[in-house]
Chains A and B, each alone.
Chain A
Amino acid sequence: MELLNKWPIYYKKDVISHYCPGCGHGIVHRIVAELLEEMDLGKQAYLVCPAGCAVLAYNYFDFDVIESAHGRGTAIATGAKRANPKLFVISYQGDGDLSAIGTAETIHSANRGENICVVFINNAVYGMTGGQMAPTSLIGQSTMTSPAGRSPDVDGYPLHITDIVATFPGVTYAERVSVSSPAGIKKTKNAIRNAFQTQVEGLGYSIVEVLSPCPTNWKMTPAKSCKWIDEEMVKEYKPGLLTDKREEKRKERA
């Protein structure tokens, strides 16, 4: 008997995660751990955890992880990468962390073109605190603080932070993917692999936005929340490549 899906060596075995049933974090954690193993980066990997549901990610990964203040993930990642350029620095952030309180850090680290990777989990609500409206919530989406649905008159429009940073010259690679289906998960893995490769080659800032289900706060079953991503969320946040300046930058460096 041969086991076909080998356990990633950088993911702790026999630890039950605290995530709700059907949460996308578990899938993205597995992808990050698998890629670090495949690309042989685990020894120098340095993950910056956010405030949010992934705050306890250090319990699940078997490499160096640091905890950051709310929204300051890319600031800490910048410091780590500049102090020790040999580190492979990943900032793992949620939408409340990256696009609400951490807007300044996100925008400026992207504008400086820091050589770091950002994995941005977008689930359109504040998950950890109980499903309040986030800047990324959709128009008409019912949340804890917008029970009648998000209204553009009062709450404004969904914030497309990945599209904003993709326009910066310092941002080498930006892609939006979703983990709502096996095909989407494969694309997510490829996108994160490209982002990691960007940092390995020293080409600059890379960001991957992952549309991820939050069944508990969306008040849906996990299967239905995957369907909701495919039907509703992708209308606002269209998956696809937003920018890829790797070839240009390779030529510049050569």
Chain B
Amino acid sequence: MSKKDKIFTVKVRRDFCKGCGLCIAFCKKEVLGVSAKLNRMGYHPAEPVKPEACIGCLMCTQVCPDLAIEVYSE
């Protein structure tokens, strides 16, 4: 099974995200966006807005300073 056939799922651990926006800035496919709701710490966390566009490059997990993003493949 090649990488193209895989489906990737991005999950943001809402309460760990501080809403710095680095993942949003570095995601080439614009998968992530800012959530309208606040989290437990009072930040607007990132959330997947175009989850189907994810290609599993893991750039967001590399730049996230708080390890708040999890990428799954199936």
Contact = CB atoms under 8 A, between A and B. Distances in A.
Given A5-B61, A22-B65, A23-B65, A226 B71 contact: no
A11 B18 CA distance: 18
Contacts of B8: 4
Q: For A17, A19, A22, A186, which residue has the most chain B Cβ atoms within 10 angstroms?
A: A22
Nearest to A27: B65
Contact of B43 (A17, A21, A181): A21
A185 interface: yes
A11 B68 CA distance: 13
A148 interface: no
A14 to B, nearest CB: 8
Interface string A14-39: 00110111111111001000000000
A222 interface: yes
B9 A1 contact: yes
B67 A26 contact: yes
Contact of B21 (A2, A20, A185, A221): A221
Interface in B1-52: 8-9, 15-16, 18-22, 24-26, 41, 43
A215 interface: yes
Given A1-B73, A16-B15, A21-B18, A181 B26 contact: yes
Q: For A11, A17, A26, which residue has the most chain B Cβ atoms within 10 angstroms?
A: A26
Given A2-B74, A3-B70, A21-B20, A182 B9 contact: no
A30 B67 contact: yes
A1 B74 contact: yes
Interface on chain B toward A: helix, strand, loop, or mixed SS? mixed
Nearest to B19: A21
Interface residues of A, number: 28
Contacts of B63: 27, 181-182, 185
Interface in A205-237: 215, 221-223, 226
A7 interface: yes
Interface string A152-190: 000000000000000000000000000001100110000
Given A3-B71, A16-B15, A27-B63, 9 more contacts: A1-B9, A1-B74, A2-B74, A4-B71, A181-B63, A182-B62, A185-B63, A222-B22, A223-B22
Interface of A: 1-5, 7, 11, 16-17, 19-27, 30, 181-182, 185-186, 215, 221-223, 226
Interface of B: 8-9, 15-16, 18-22, 24-26, 41, 43, 56, 58-59, 61-67, 69-74
